[in-house]
Structure 1
């Protein structure tokens, strides 16, 4: 049987979907197709878990939902509410959805209590850091930031290799990629500032920004700042992260 991977989706109102979908009061649950394709290519079945306002405080319901899955993926998306890491709205903060933040933090908490393998990507990586008591840099693309790397490289294709990163030896990522360096895409304007408690840094960009974290005391909890799902179809090396996630689940079911 194929393992089942739960991917968190997020709520978007129709006024943000463009004029073809502008139906008053209608909301959508979205996730990009790349997550489903990468999870499927890695040998698992992708399942969607939407934000459910009526169930946001119903832990029994959430646990039963999580029981349907063998692992959880926290995907990319909007900025995280700065109040969650002791900060406040600042210049260049993007749009936030506080209810999504609190919903996904609750999912993360319960998934950990249940021992579910967890993979966080971009926003999901940042959310993991916040969950562990870490903080974020609100914006790393402004004029005041001294880096030549365009971390929000929205001018290039999704699979474009924007920069290389260094992988720390003795980490899960070093085992996954069997390399000390890998080229990645980059679509983020926030970044890890203070690393969360008990998290190990597994990868860094040439300018020092954290690109990978993991909890080596937990069976499987890995976060990456880039978007491997956007590269996997063209760059087989990027699929290795999803394959590792799925194979861990298969071996430990």
Structure 2
């Protein structure tokens, strides 16, 4: 049997998509197709979990949902409410969804209680850092940018290699990528500032911005700032990250069954 990985989707309100399809008043659950394709190529069955307003405070219901999955992916998306890291709305803060933040943080906490393997991508990576008490830089791409690297590189194809990574030794990512030279795409304008307590930095960009975090004391918790799911179809190196996640999930599941 294939391991099952839960991808957390998010709600799109009718004012953003409903009118486009002449469906006024209709809301949507959205997650990009690349996550499912990458997981499928890595040997897993992707499952999608929608935001459920009626169950947002029902921990037992969410746990039952999580029991159906062997691992969890927290995907990319909109900016995170700065109130979650003791900050304030600032210039260049993008759209936020506090209800999504609270929903995904609850799922993250409950998944960790259940020791589910977790992979966070872009926004999901930032949310993991906040959950561990870390903070974010609200914007790193404005006129006062600290770097010449265009971290929000929307002008190039989704799998374009915007910058290289410096992989830190003795980390899970060092095992995944071995001695390979790794370059990644870049679609973020927020970035990790203070690293959360208990997390280890496993990769940085050439300008020093944190690109990956992991918890060495948790069975499997890895977060990456780039979008490997967008690169996996054309880049075996990026697919290897999903294969490592799925392989771990599969081994952990088989161990629990024995």
Of 140-149 and 71-80, the range deviating more from structure 2: 140-149
Q: 1:24 to 1:18 in 2, by over 3 A?
A: closer
SS of equivalent to 1:219: coil
Deviations along 1:112-145, whole A, 9 cap, x unmatched? 0000000000000000000000000000001112
Please tell me whether the aligned partners of residues 18 and 26 of structure 2 are also in contact (alpha carbons under 8 angstroms).
no
1:180 is displaced (CA, Å) by 6.1
Deviations along 1:134-192, whole A, 9 cap, x unmatched? 00000000111221100000000000000001000100000001126410000000000
| Unpaired runs of at least 5, structure 2 | 254-258
Query: What is residue 70 of structure 1 aligned with on the other side?
Result: 70
Query: What is residue 143 of structure 2 aligned with on the other side?
Result: 143
Structure 2 distance, partners of 1:53, 1:179, is: 45
Please tell me whether the aligned partners of residues 18 and 24 of structure 2 are also in contact (alpha carbons under 8 angstroms).
no
- 2:170 aligned with 1:170, yes or no? yes
Structure 2 distance, partners of 1:75, 1:22, is: 28
Deviations along 1:184-211, whole A, 9 cap, x unmatched? 0000000000000100000000000000
1:18 is displaced (CA, Å) by 7.4
Please tell me whether the aligned partners of residues 126 and 225 of structure 2 are also in contact (alpha carbons under 8 angstroms).
yes
Task: Calculate the aligned-residue CA RMSD, in Å.
Answer: 1.0
Query: What is residue 221 of structure 2 aligned with on the other side?
Result: 221
Of 221-230 and 138-147, the range deviating more from structure 2: 138-147
Please tell me whether the aligned partners of residues 18 and 25 of structure 2 are also in contact (alpha carbons under 8 angstroms).
no
Compute the TM-score of the two structures, normalised by the length of structure 1: 0.98
Aligned ranges for residues 101-250 of structure 1 at < 5 Å?
101-179=101-179, 181-250=181-250
Structure 1 distance, partners of 2:53, 2:16, is: 19
Structure 2 distance, partners of 1:146, 1:59, is: 41
SS of equivalent to 1:76: coil
Query: What is residue 34 of structure 2 aligned with on the other side?
Result: 34
SS of equivalent to 1:120: strand
| Unpaired runs of at least 5, structure 1 | none
Structure 2 distance, partners of 1:99, 1:20, is: 23
Query: What is residue 98 of structure 1 aligned with on the other side?
Result: 98
